[in-house]
Chains A and B, each alone.
Chain A
């Protein structure tokens, strides 16, 4: 009996320590989220894409703001190659009023976003992915009917200055996938803003 208790508590604490959310190689679920144009968007709306660049971003976080132009450039380049950006705001506007749906609409209009900017209103998509901050990027690659997670992490190695970027982590990952290779590194970390939970 004592042994069972020890084993159970060990397993429980191990599961608490391990990161929840998708790992490289996992199958990603689709979703249906409201876009800034009021229409609902799902990944199944893109039957011809090779995959997706799912990005958890928001309106207010300075780390996201610093990357906005780079995100637009990445969408322009890679949607043509089969990997469109799908941006999702995971934050609760009651905690962070700057991240309300109306503010998302303003942002998308001001910056002329070329990609869907979706609202994770029920906050049930970002926990499935395991996003912990903004920005947090997940590259999905289609494999028959499945969406496989191939890269998790950040966009590049210098949020503050686009001219000083040395490692284009995200672009390198997508380029690898486009040439039939595995991204390396397949996961990276960066500083970002916490996700504002209800």
Chain B
């Protein structure tokens, strides 16, 4: 009974994450809530970007993801920003940052200690530096441990739409 409830809760959370269009606020999640978002089965392409407000190269590339979202508005594309900011700075730092930078896609704060226990779950290739981005759909999956300029991000993302 307990297991069924937690599965239902997770599915409900996932549904809320995917179908919320307006960015109301960030949600704080653990690795168990993040895991299902790393392998959703649908005809959409997912961009999962790992970043933090204090990470210079991360902040610099955020507008590029916003532009990509606008450019490919006719494609089935979901962008999720997974923040590795501190949970204690959720109110004071993360929420004001989201508002100031007009982040229009879902922001999730991953609050999970011991990264050694979950980095490989995201991708075994990931050495742990940020920014890092996972892009996947049902025909292609790749992990990019590097910052993106707009043109590189655009050409990379467009390769995911070829077979869709």
Contacts and interface: CB of A to CB of B under 8 A. Distances in A.
Contacts of A192: 128-130
Interface stretch (B9-17, B23-31, B112-120): B112-120
B119 A189 contact: yes
Main secondary structure of the interface of B (DSSP, over half): loop
26 contacts: A17-B125, A19-B127, A96-B56, A132-B127, A132-B129, A133-B127, A133-B128, A154-B116, A154-B128, A157-B113, A157-B114, A160-B86, A167-B114, A169-B116, A185-B116, A189-B116, A189-B119, A189-B120, A189-B126, A189-B128, A190-B115, A190-B116, A191-B115, A193-B130, A194-B57, A194-B131
Nearest to B120: A189
Main secondary structure of the interface of A (DSSP, over half): loop
Given A133-B129, A190-B115, A62 B147 contact: no
Contacts of A158: 113-114
Nearest to B129: A133
Contacts of A164: 113
A157 B129 contact: no
Contacts of B7: none
Nearest to B111: A160
Given A157-B113, A158-B113, A189 B127 contact: yes
- Looking at A17, A19, A157, the one whose CB has the most chain B CB atoms below 10 A away is A157
Contacts of B57: 194
B153 interface: no
Interface residues of B, number: 23
Interface string B91-135: 000000000000000000000011111011000011111110000
- Looking at A19, A189, A195, the one whose CB has the most chain B CB atoms below 10 A away is A189
B114 A191 contact: no
A153 interface: yes
A189 B130 CA distance: 13
A62 B113 CA distance: 16
